[in-house]
Amino acid sequence: MIALKSEGDMTGATADLEAVTLDNGLEILVRPIHTVPLVSVWCWYHVGSKDEAPGITGASHWVEHMNFKGTRGISREDLKVWIERAGGFWNGYTWVDQTTYFETLAADSLDLALHIESERMAECLYDPEELESERSVIISELQGNENNPGYLLDVEVGAAAIRAHPYRWPTIGWLSDLENMTREDLFGHYRKYYVPNNATLVIVGDVDTSATLRAVEKRFGQIPAGERPRPVHTRESVQEGERRVVVERPGTTKYLQVAFHAPAFRDDDFVPLWVADAVLSGGKGVNLWSGGHGRNARTTSPLYGSLVEPELVSVVSSAVLPTEAPYLYTISATVREGVAEQAVEEAVFGTLAKMADEPPDDRALRKAKNQLLAALAFDDEGITQVAHQLGYFNTIARHELLAELPARIEAVTADDVRTVSAARWKPSGRTVGWFRPQEIS
């Protein structure tokens, strides 16, 4: 039996959206878009690195890898071949709050995608030989990341800035945990979190809603609900003073990262901070699938003018990311050779202090808002993008809030920007990290 939930009047990202919950707790979002004969199917699980603990860090990411290795009903080889025969593509990812999988393919192959995702939800194998092979793959991935100074600095700054919440460890996990986790650890993680009442299925494309819901119920309706995983309740205490970390490794270039505590997406401060960041470095979207992890400052932005134009750094970027719990706002820079660290810090902190002291003028605020509204519009183009946004925001909050973003952006005032800048970019709340290259002996 299907229980329907009325969505009311929706526009933009949620136009024509039908939201449904099966008796086993699986949430389903269907949005017909008939521009091309394609469909994008995303299955989202409310589990990410924040749901791990010391000893099993990296489990969510490893489970994601294992769930591409075949199921009781579909071999590993068939999974790949079937998607290719349908003219489609597929992938998945894991981050702090969620794990997701998707297929975008011909609309008449919708049931194939539903078959794959229903099998993935309940019937993955975790063959011991496959698990050991994937252990080597993931450890190699981690070691490759550690050759990247930006990655190393990001991990160290995150661990210093966040002390209590499990956002503090990297999604890929710590090496010792990856070396020692067992099949029982991983299969237990899979069975705990991969239950229909911890998932959202999103279907966007050239489909009939009623027929699609019947097909979903046929594939997923018999999967039993599990015990709903306990949410993470840990919260960070207020940071009472500046923290500093230094990473010293062989290299040729110096990097800076500054982190401040940022609000959760549901927090009233999130959209004003997002607008403040757009004033500071240029507007960017909130689609992690299409590069929302931080983008270079626009050439007309204050951050670019204070750092790149005087040739203190070659590149500077910022990132404010929508998350379920409070996370981090970051500014990252690649420092030019011979430039003193103090000069770079003074330029960054001086620009932030000005934002905290003076509200932006009307022109700067309007430009920032226009850039954000344009980014949201771009994120509503193409069925894969639309389906991603619906599922992502339903995982960290509720999908309805995505449709409210344009109005919330327009409601932000210049004084809101000044106020949130002063509150969120305090010197006492920042963590400053440097990567200092060492000569290779």
Domain ranges of the chain: 2-220, 243-438
Sign of torsion over alpha carbons 358, 362, 363, 369: positive
Question: Could you tell me if 281 and 318 are in contact, meaning their C-beta atoms sit under 8 angstroms apart?
Answer: yes
Q: Is the pLDDT of residue 12 over 80?
A: no
Question: Could you tell me if 255 and 435 are in contact, meaning their C-beta atoms sit under 8 angstroms apart?
Answer: yes
Q: pLDDT by residue (tens digit) across 145-186?
A: 999 999 999 999 999 999 999 999 999 999 999 999 999 999
CATH 3.40.50.300 fits domain 243-438: no
Instruction: Please state, as a whole number, how many other Cβ atoms lie within 10 Å of the Cβ of residue 167.
Output: 25
* Helix then strand then coil, % of the chain, to nearest 5: 45, 20, 35
Query: What CA–CA distances, in Å, run from 153 to 256, 261, 415?
Result: 8, 17, 33
Q: Which CATH architecture has domain 2-220?
A: 2-Layer Sandwich (3.30)
Q: pLDDT by residue (tens digit) across 328-351?
A: 999 999 999 999 999 999 999 999
Residue 255 three-state SS? strand
Question: Could you tell me if 18 and 7 are in contact, meaning their C-beta atoms sit under 8 angstroms apart?
Answer: yes
Question: Could you tell me if 351 and 306 are in contact, meaning their C-beta atoms sit under 8 angstroms apart?
Answer: yes
Question: Could you tell me if 304 and 277 are in contact, meaning their C-beta atoms sit under 8 angstroms apart?
Answer: no
Least Cα distance to 102 among 391, 430, 346, 351 occurs for 391
- Rounded to whole angstroms, how far apart are CA atoms 392 and 111? 22
- Rounded to whole angstroms, how far apart are CA atoms 433 and 265? 25
**Same fold across 2-220 and 243-438:** yes
pLDDT classification of 295: cutoffs 50, 70, 90: confident
Q: Is the pLDDT of residue 10 over 90?
A: no
Instruction: Give the pLDDT score at 8.
Output: 37
**Strands 18-22 vs 27-32: parallel, antiparallel or unpaired:** antiparallel
Question: What is the residue-averaged pLDDT of the chain?
Answer: 94
Q: pLDDT by residue (tens digit) across 186-218?
A: 999 999 999 999 999 999 999 999 999 999 999
Q: What is the percent of the chain where pLDDT is above 90?
A: 90
Q: pLDDT by residue (tens digit) across 376-419?
A: 998 888 999 999 999 999 999 999 999 999 999 999 999 999 99
Residue owning tokens 């000893």: 55
Q: Is the pLDDT of residue 13 over 90?
A: no
Q: pLDDT by residue (tens digit) across 109-153?
A: 999 999 999 999 999 999 999 999 999 999 999 999 999 999 999
Sign of torsion over alpha carbons 418, 424, 426, 431: negative
- Rounded to whole angstroms, how far apart are CA atoms 272 and 193? 33
